[in-house]
């Protein structure tokens, strides 16, 4: 991780939303309120007449997602694990207390299945005879533009509209922009829509002095939620040896170390660690049991 900081900005119509967010106990503990001039000093591309107030979270960090991913892969291989790609699961059945898993790359057997199929978790559940949890994939778009010349843009915080209408942040010498869209989608290889990029450009140009003429790279992905927008982690209440790690929404990367550690404990029927309980984790709020009718 490397220090970045996050600046939540509000215009005059959004002060209520900013105050409401700022008063949440865990937000209040990690943030401080800023006047418009102080917000402008941190993120100088903001228009002076746009920002009415802001909230700054100094301890927010950039995460090296590639390094994190490679680290997990390395540790898996070090422990004798094997990654099998292009192995779409097409059937699941139980035989003699074990799962038989039919895939495009052959047949596997396992005592326990961990359903971590992202937007596709309900499809896997149906194959296993488990009840779907109502996963809803939501498309989110992001794209890169040049940072303004002669600026210190690499030092700007991540800047987020308090109603999540847009965000931007420095990324390897350029700026990453998003309209923070949440468009319902079926499970698929998501693709960025020109309209979502145009919306982001419009919103960000209204809030900042950035003039966006050239989009260099664009992509979209799915963030998958259940109705209460909390993760789903734990054994299925009805189907034996079927474990869910699902609905990680927009935070599956930054929560991966904690969710992974929690899942490892629950999979082995061990108690939740004290430090997690002290942080306020209520296991029933993420249990798959909450969907059982
Ligand atoms: C634009 C954007 C910005 C984001 N920003 C952040 C952020 O700042 N911080 C953060 O923490 N998170 C962020 N996220 C969210 C994060 O990417 C997700 O929470 C995370 O990827 C979810 O991980 P997952 O393993 O549950 O699902 P996925 O990453 O979707 O993985 C599921 C896997 O299951 C496989 N699969 C599906 N069906 C089958 C099948 N039948 N057989 C075999 N394999 C199958 C898929 O191919 C896929 O590889 C962002 C997402 C997007 C799109």
| CA–centroid distance, residue 52 to ligand 1 (Å) | 35
**Alpha-carbon distance 288 to 38, whole Å?**
44
Tell whether the model's pLDDT for residue 194 goes beyond 80: yes
Closest C-alpha residue for ligand 1 atom 41: 89
**Cβ(163)–Cβ(111) below 8 Å:** no
* Average pLDDT for 53-65: 96
User: CA angle, 156 as apex, 13 and 48 as ends, to 5°?
Assistant: 40
* Alpha-carbon distances, residue 20 vs 14, 15, 27, 143 (angstroms): 10, 9, 10, 30
Q: Which of 114, 197, 224, 253 to mutate for ligand 1's pocket (most ligand atoms within 8 Å of CB)? A: 253
| Residue 151: predicted pLDDT | 85
Architecture of domain 65-135+229-291: 3-Layer(bba) Sandwich (3.50)
> Is the C-beta atom of 169 inside 6 A of ligand 1?
no
Percent of the chain predicted with pLDDT > 90: 96
- For residue 189, the 8-state DSSP code is -
**Alpha-carbon distance 252 to 23, whole Å?**
25
| Residue 293: predicted pLDDT | 72
Q: Kindly calculate the radius of gyration of the chain based on its CA atoms and give it in whole angstroms.
A: 22
> Is the C-beta atom of 248 inside 6 A of ligand 1?
yes
Tell whether the model's pLDDT for residue 138 goes beyond 80: yes
**Alpha-carbon distance 68 to 73, whole Å?**
9
The encoded tokens of residue 51 equal 């920002």
Q: Which of 72, 248, 260, 263 to mutate for ligand 1's pocket (most ligand atoms within 8 Å of CB)? A: 248
| CA–centroid distance, residue 275 to ligand 1 (Å) | 27
> Is the C-beta atom of 120 inside 6 A of ligand 1?
yes
Which residues in the chain are classed under CATH 3.50.50.60? Answer: 65-135+229-291
**Cβ(49)–Cβ(70) below 8 Å:** no
> Is the C-beta atom of 251 inside 6 A of ligand 1?
yes
| Residue 98: predicted pLDDT | 97
> Is the C-beta atom of 88 inside 6 A of ligand 1?
yes
Tell whether the model's pLDDT for residue 41 goes beyond 90: yes
**Alpha-carbon distance 158 to 141, whole Å?**
16
- For residue 76, the 8-state DSSP code is H
Tell whether the model's pLDDT for residue 153 goes beyond 90: yes
The encoded tokens of residue 119 equal 């937007």
| CA–centroid distance, residue 222 to ligand 1 (Å) | 7
HSE-up of residue 58 (Cα within 13 Å, Cβ side): 4
Which residues in the chain are classed under CATH 3.30.9.10? Answer: 2-62+136-225
> Is the C-beta atom of 84 inside 6 A of ligand 1?
no
Tell whether the model's pLDDT for residue 63 goes beyond 90: yes
Ligand 1: atom nearest CA of 127 is 41
**Cβ(270)–Cβ(216) below 8 Å:** no
Average pLDDT across the chain, whole number: 96
| CA–centroid distance, residue 239 to ligand 1 (Å) | 24
| Residue 292: predicted pLDDT | 84
* Average pLDDT for 50-67: 96
| Residue 150: predicted pLDDT | 82
**Cβ(135)–Cβ(124) below 8 Å:** no
**Cβ(208)–Cβ(230) below 8 Å:** no
The domain 2-62+136-225 having CATH identifier 3.30.9.10: the answer here is yes
Ligand 1: atom nearest CA of 254 is 11
- pTM for the complete prediction? 0.94
HSE-up of residue 196 (Cα within 13 Å, Cβ side): 21
Tell whether the model's pLDDT for residue 33 goes beyond 90: yes
Q: 209: pLDDT confidence band, cut at 50, 70 and 90?
A: very high
């Amino acid at each position: 991780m490397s220090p970045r900081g996050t600046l939540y900005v509000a215009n005059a119509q959004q002060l209520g939303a900013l105050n409401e967010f700022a008063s949440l106990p865990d937000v209040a503990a990690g943030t401080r309120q800023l006047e418009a001039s102080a917000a402008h000093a941190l993120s100088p591309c903001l228009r002076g007449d746009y920002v009415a107030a802001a909230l700054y979270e100094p301890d927010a960090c950039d995460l090296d997602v590639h390094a994190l991913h490679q680290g997990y892969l390395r540790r898996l291989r070090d422990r004798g694990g094997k990654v099998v790609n292009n192995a779409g699961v097409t059937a699941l059945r139980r035989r003699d207390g074990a799962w038989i898993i039919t895939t495009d790359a052959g047949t596997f057997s396992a005592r326990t299945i961990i359903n971590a199929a992202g937007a596709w978790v309900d499809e896997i559940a149906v194959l296993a005879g488990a009840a779907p949890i109502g996963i809803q994939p939501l498309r989110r778009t992001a794209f890169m533009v040049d940072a303004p010349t002669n600026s210190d843009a690499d030092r700007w915080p991540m800047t987020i509209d308090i109603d999540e209408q847009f965000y931007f942040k420095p990324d390897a010498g350029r700026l990453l922009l998003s309209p923070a869209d949440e468009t319902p989608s079926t499970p698929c290889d998501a693709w960025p829509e020109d309209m979502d990029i145009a919306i982001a450009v419009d919103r960000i140009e209204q809030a900042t002095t950035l003039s966006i003429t050239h989009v260099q790279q664009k992509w979209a992905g799915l963030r998958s939620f259940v109705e209460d927008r909390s993760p789903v982690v734990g054994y299925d209440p009805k189907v034996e040896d079927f474990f869910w790690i699902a609905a990680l929404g927009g935070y599956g990367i930054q929560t991966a170390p904690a969710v992974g550690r929690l899942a490892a404990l629950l999979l082995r029927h061990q108690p939740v660690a004290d430090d997690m309980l002290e942080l306020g984790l209520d296991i029933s709020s993420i249990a798959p049991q909450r969907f059982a009718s």
